[in-house]
Amino acid sequence: MPTLMPISPCLLKSAIPRLSTVATLAFILSPSSLLAQDQLAGQERTALEDETTATPIPLVPTEPTWDSFHGQLNAQKYSPLDQINADNVGELEKVWEVHTGDISDGSGELPATVWSATPVFANDTLYLGTPFYRILALDPASGEEKWSFDTQSSLEPLTQPALKNRGVAYWQAEDPMAGELCQKIIYMGTMDAQLFAVDADSGERCEGFANNGVLNVNQWNDTHDHWPLSLLQPPTVVGDRLILGWAGMDWAYAQAPPGTVFAINARTGELEWTFQALSEQMREQSGTANVWTHMSADEERGLVYLPVSSPSPNFWGGNRTEEVPLATSTTALDIETGDVVWSRQWVHHDIWDYDTVAAPTLMDITVGGEEIPALLQATKTGFLFVVNRETGEDVWPIEERPVPGGDGTVEGEVYAPTQPFPTKPVPLLDQSEKPKVWALADALSFGQCSRLWEELWYEGLYTPPTTRGEGTMGYPITAGGPQWGGVAFGPESQTAIVNTSHIVQTLKLYDREAYEKADSGSGNESGFAPQEGAPYGIRLEIAQNWLGMPCWEPPFGELVALDMTTGDIKWRRPVGASQQHGFFMPESWGSPTIGGPAVTAGGIIFIGASMDAKVRAYSLETGEQLWSDQVEAPSVSNPAVYEYNGRQYVAFVAGGNTILKDQVGDQIAVYALPDIGSEGS
């Protein structure tokens, strides 16, 4: 029986407003499990939708589509195009590139740029957002600029250590009226919480949207407003709604802005509903549990799926000892109302910043001869949870298992006695014991790594933070495992593809007096952070020697293929090459990765993501590397696969991320087969 979020009768009534009074009373009075209630709700919803929906909305679009952050709303990052296949992918050539000029390495007046935008192909145009908060509309065959729009946003790092952008969102009316502006709209947010809407054909502001084409989302930031609600991730567009989350400042405050999700009318910017993961009381004493990454949606079932992050402060939970069931979860909402339909919490009482980091991938799979509408949620822990996307019920059993408690050094903390563990698929990395010290790094540092290992406390995954020694070993903590690029899925072979990092981090708590003495600054997602208002500040670092070498054995990153009919791993291989001090390491060691894969009906996986600033193609069937090319900086974004005038293209943004290394770029690199001309696929 799955551990689903308990829902009160009042919430159940609000969550099924379209059901009959008899059905509603049956929900409230029945002593049956929540699972049975969810199944009944699914049956009633399906029956109602069958009556009211003339044409079913397929989970996988019938035409090649790459019009959102993960390609499609299902987050499969899948293209049915097969012009490029295992036999000819080695012939790919760069057919055009563009340099935006929106770049900073942080050495001047501007902070460094982090560019993770997925190119969006829609309206016969390739659309991108830049870290200087400009929107570009490019010809998909040549890269020639059709138009650009400058938000004139302040280039200040208000909530992030860098200028950051993950691109744009696209919407169009069901029946666009020729000659009228803003029947097709491009949306992009800024770090200071302004959401811009411009006409997709001309780049002109949509005057009917909010205030002359700009929505000030920060107007709703009314609790612990230490920072603006930064709009770094483009909205998730579902029908005529924009589902909008936001990003904030990591590890800074105990009481932080609570993580509201906003549903906004796509035409007008009018607020339609909101979702809060925290109770009223918890919003006063804690905060966040926001959705800072993209979401996915099943339009036919009327559900949008939220990957919800952890509450604040991230590494101490003494101010939130009661249950917070929607935090660090996947939560399914009714698209029309924002009411909770079901929720699964992946980490209880999260004190490791194990944000649910990626949009869950929706897929139809066959398990034991049964067709299952499934959802696969990748998590930072290296776990992949698979549930029925209608009900939240386990596909393969998810077990509550005992986990380590505290060591008595942290005042006010209360630890969860168990955590959810999936039985299938197996974890992407072995967290059961300390990773082995890398002999090479240890020898070159004269035993520094071995000494560090002796000073770190580790009793397996979920070892709590401590104030002792060098602190707790995290394998993994914030760096993952998988990251926000998420899981790709090939529906023909029912194969899931995920890239995962293997990174060891150290986490130590300091009481306030000790923190003031120890604090020596921070970098991008590392170093010291105050958790102001909590009894403890933190230090979080990569476990490496004085030469900058990882202290744990490679590989440092892998690409993994899973058979979703069995939950078994089909193959796994190191991905990319690590780089340090200008030297590339052997590819057998792999690389930490940021950004996700794409998969095609041609049997190809495309991915950038690695430190060595290469983009690659792999065989979906075997994992063999079939092609690669060097780009300007690590391509820490999801690639886009699209067809234009009969030719298949693959587009990568090479923008870099200083979490991987100090190399940034402003390049869009687009590839195709040579001499195809206008032949069909």
Residue 141 pLDDT more than 50? yes
Do you find a cis peptide bond into 287, omega within 30 degrees of 0? Answer: no
In 10 A of CB 107, how many CB atoms? 8
| 128-137, 426-435, 492-501: least confidently modelled range | 426-435
- State the average pLDDT over residues 15-26: 32
Residue 253 pLDDT more than 50? yes
- The 3 state secondary structure assigned to 98-110 is EECCCCCCCCCCC
**Nearest Cα to Cα of residue 80 among 597, 596, 603:** 603
- State the chain's mean pLDDT as an integer: 91
Q: What is the pLDDT of residues 366-421, one digit of tens each?
A: 999 999 999 999 999 999 999 999 999 999 999 999 999 999 999 999 999 999 99
Q: What is the pLDDT of residues 639-680, one digit of tens each?
A: 999 999 999 999 999 999 988 888 999 999 999 999 855 444
- Decide if 362 contacts 75 (C-beta within 8 A): yes
Instruction: Supply angle C-alpha 27, 29, 30, rounded to 5.
Output: 70
Give the strand pairing for 78-79 and 598-600. parallel
* pLDDT band at 54; cut points 50, 70, 90: low
Distance in angstroms (rounded) separating the CA atoms of residues 465 and 152: 42
Residue 41 pLDDT more than 70? no
Name the residue with higher pLDDT: 43 or 511: 511
* pLDDT band at 526; cut points 50, 70, 90: confident
Q: Is 346 helix (H, G, I), strand (E, B) or coil?
A: coil
In 10 A of CB 14, how many CB atoms? 15
Residue 36 pLDDT more than 90? no
Give phi and psi for 50, each to the nearest 5.
-60, -35
The CA distances from residue 157 to 106, 134, 162, 662, in Å, are 11, 16, 6, 17
Residue 26 pLDDT more than 70? no
Does the predicted TM-score (pTM) go above 0.75? yes
**Nearest Cα to Cα of residue 277 among 265, 269, 286:** 286
Q: Would you state the pLDDT for residue 676?
A: 56
- State the average pLDDT over residues 506-518: 95
Q: How far apart are the first and last CA of the chain?
A: 46
Residue 517 pLDDT more than 50? yes
| 27-41, 60-74, 257-271, 377-391: least confidently modelled range | 27-41
Q: Active-site residues: which are they?
A: 353
In 10 A of CB 286, how many CB atoms? 24
Distance in angstroms (rounded) separating the CA atoms of residues 392 and 33: 13
Q: Would you state the pLDDT for residue 5?
A: 53
The CA distances from residue 400 to 53, 346, 380, 419, 467, in Å, are 39, 10, 18, 5, 27
**Nearest Cα to Cα of residue 657 among 126, 55, 64, 164:** 164
* pLDDT band at 55; cut points 50, 70, 90: confident
Tokens representing residue 283 in the block: 């919003």
Name the residue with higher pLDDT: 449 or 660: 449
- Decide if 254 contacts 263 (C-beta within 8 A): no
8-state DSSP, 284: H
- State the average pLDDT over residues 112-128: 97
Residue 47 pLDDT more than 50? no
Percent share of the chain, pLDDT over 90: 85
Give 485-543 as a DSSP string. Answer: T--EEETTTTEEEEEEE---EEEEEEEHHHHHHH---B-SS-EEE--BTSSEEEEEEE-
Q: What is the pLDDT of residues 573-585, one digit of tens each?
A: 999 998 775 667 8
Identify which of 444-453, 472-481, 655-664 has the greatest average pLDDT.
444-453
* pLDDT band at 3; cut points 50, 70, 90: very low
